[in-house]
């Protein structure tokens, strides 16, 4: 069994990229440039907002990109996790999925936390330990993580 998180690149030039579950990665704005083998992302979820015409080169190694930026430290927008869940469930069996924000500290770990709880059935403590960067215990930001936690709790009650 692979221990998670599994670091791919722990320096900013390698995008704070880490695998937090099977074929589910979290990272920074530079992570799309560093896909694991086979060298292509099945899906990239951009929470930072770098998906513009000028950034086409950054996403050349992704089959599909979803840009859904929101401000760090704010709750995850309503309905976003419901939409992303289906996209990730479809893409993950086809290859690695990346969820990234600017630094990989708050927005993307919060979304990954929620996905790990719902898709992989992880308990809150284990999901957070996988998604969070250990040297930044103040992250994810409380309001962003709280929205992810509430969504995951609702999803688990429904199932």
User: How are beta strands 43-46 and 97-100 bridged, if at all?
Assistant: parallel
pLDDT exceeds cutoff 80 at 10? no
**Domain limits for position 122:** 6-158
CA atoms within 13 Å, Cβ hemisphere of 94: 15
Has residue 1 been placed in a domain? Answer: no
Has residue 110 been placed in a domain? Answer: yes
Q: What pLDDT digit, counting tens, does each position of 31-65 carry?
A: 898 898 889 999 999 999 865 555 667 788 999 99
pLDDT at position 57 is 75
Has residue 16 been placed in a domain? Answer: yes
What is the count of structural domains for the chain?
1
**8 A C-beta contact, residue 124 and residue 149:** yes
Q: What pLDDT digit, counting tens, does each position of 104-135 carry?
A: 899 999 999 999 999 999 999 999 999 998 77
Residue 67's CATH number: 3.90.190.10
pLDDT at position 137 is 80
**Strands of 97-100's sheet, edge to edge?**
6-9, 17-21, 24-27, 97-100, 43-46, 65-67
Least Cα distance to 153 among 120, 129, 123, 111 occurs for: 123
């Amino acid at each position: 069994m692979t221990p998670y998180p599994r670091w791919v690149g722990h320096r900013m030039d390698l995008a704070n990229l880490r695998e937090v579950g099977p074929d589910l990665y979290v990272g920074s704005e530079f992570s799309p440039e560093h896909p694991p083998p086979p060298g292509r992302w099945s899906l990239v979820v951009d929470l930072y907002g770098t998906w513009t015409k000028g950034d086409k080169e950054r996403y050349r190694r992704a089959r599909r990109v979803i840009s859904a930026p929101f401000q760090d430290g704010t709750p995850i927008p309503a309905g976003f996790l419901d939409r992303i869940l289906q996209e990730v469930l479809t893409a993950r069996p086809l290859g690695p999925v990346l969820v990234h924000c600017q630094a990989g500290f708050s927005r993307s770990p919060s979304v990954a936390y929620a996905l790990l709880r719902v898709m992989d059935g992880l308990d809150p403590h284990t999901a957070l330990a996988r998604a969070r960067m250990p040297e930044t215990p103040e992250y994810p930001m409380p309001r962003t993580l709280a929205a992810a936690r509430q969504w995951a709790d609702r999803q688990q009650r429904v199932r």
